A and B are shown apart, each in its own frame.
Chain A
Amino acid sequence: QKEVEQNSGPLSVPEGAIASLNCTYSDRGSQSFFWYRQYSGKSPELIMSIYSNGDKEDGRFTAQLNKASQYVSLLIRDSQPSDSATYLCAVNRGSSNTGKLIFGQGTTLQVKP
């Protein structure tokens, strides 16, 4: 079992729709969870951090965390073609917040005009 798992996609949604990206992790001790966006040929960009169970909203993005189910998700409302990218789920290694991250393989999102 991989430590952080994501569906590689591609996930295709029409412009204006809600895109839902999912991630599961194996280490129950993990306390910090992140979503990065990576455009083709570029480096990952941090877009959301979440540390507590529940929802965290930032503009069109909502991160959801359920530690009991070991599940993290990212919702993108009113998807735009500029949101087309690979979204990487990352989990801090272990229970101490050290910044040592384990990444999933990423989900490719395509937003069609």
Chain B
Amino acid sequence: ETGVTQSPTHLIKTRGQQVTLRCSSQSGHNTVSWYQQALGQGPQFIFQYYREEENGRGNFPPRFSGLQFPNYSSELNVNALELDDSALYLCASGLAVEQFFGPGTRLTVL
């Protein structure tokens, strides 16, 4: 167990809808990052938050956005869902370079 929690575990949405995924970082960690993992692929970096500011972004469109709160919890918001957004969404937290993943949220877009 890494101490990183995510909710919900599973989620089903329809194309065009909006979704919010939540993450609670491990105590003592100061960065939280979000990754998207499509079936059969490695995780892809979406963005990272440090001290409540976005601290780097991968190759994802602006409809992917996030927030980090003072207690180091975080949200990933995805607007205008597309079928290709179906994936496992992973939250990772860390104090330095090592990153520890939560259990993930499985999003299905119909």
List A residues at the B interface (Cβ < 8 Å).
4, 32, 34, 36, 42-46, 49, 88, 90, 92-93, 97-106
Contact = CB atoms under 8 A, between A and B. Distances in A.
B30 to A, nearest CB: 10
27 contacts: A4-B42, A32-B97, A44-B90, A45-B2, A45-B101, A46-B98, A46-B99, A49-B98, A92-B97, A93-B56, A98-B31, A98-B55, A98-B56, A99-B33, A99-B94, A99-B98, A100-B33, A100-B45, A100-B58, A101-B35, A101-B92, A101-B99, A102-B45, A103-B42, A103-B44, A105-B40, A105-B42
A106 B42 contact: yes
Given A42-B103, A43-B104, A44-B90, A98 B43 contact: no
Interface of B: 2, 31, 33, 35, 40-45, 48, 55-56, 58, 88, 90, 92, 94, 96-104
Given A99-B48, A99-B94, A100-B56, A43 B102 contact: yes
A100 to B, nearest CB: 5
In this complex, the member of B42, B48, B101 whose beta carbon has the largest number of chain A beta carbons within 10 angstroms is B42
Given A34-B99, A44-B90, A88-B43, 4 more contacts: A43-B103, A88-B42, A99-B33, A103-B42
Contacts of B92: 99, 101
Nearest to A92: B97
Given A42-B103, A43-B90, A99 B96 contact: yes
Contacts of A34: 98-99
Contacts of A42: 103
A98 B97 CA distance: 5
Contacts of A93: 45, 56
Contact of B45 (A45, A97, A101, A104): A101
B28 to A, nearest CB: 14
In this complex, the member of B55, B88, B101, B103 whose beta carbon has the largest number of chain A beta carbons within 10 angstroms is B101
A70 B33 CA distance: 25
Contact of B31 (A43, A46, A99, A102): A99
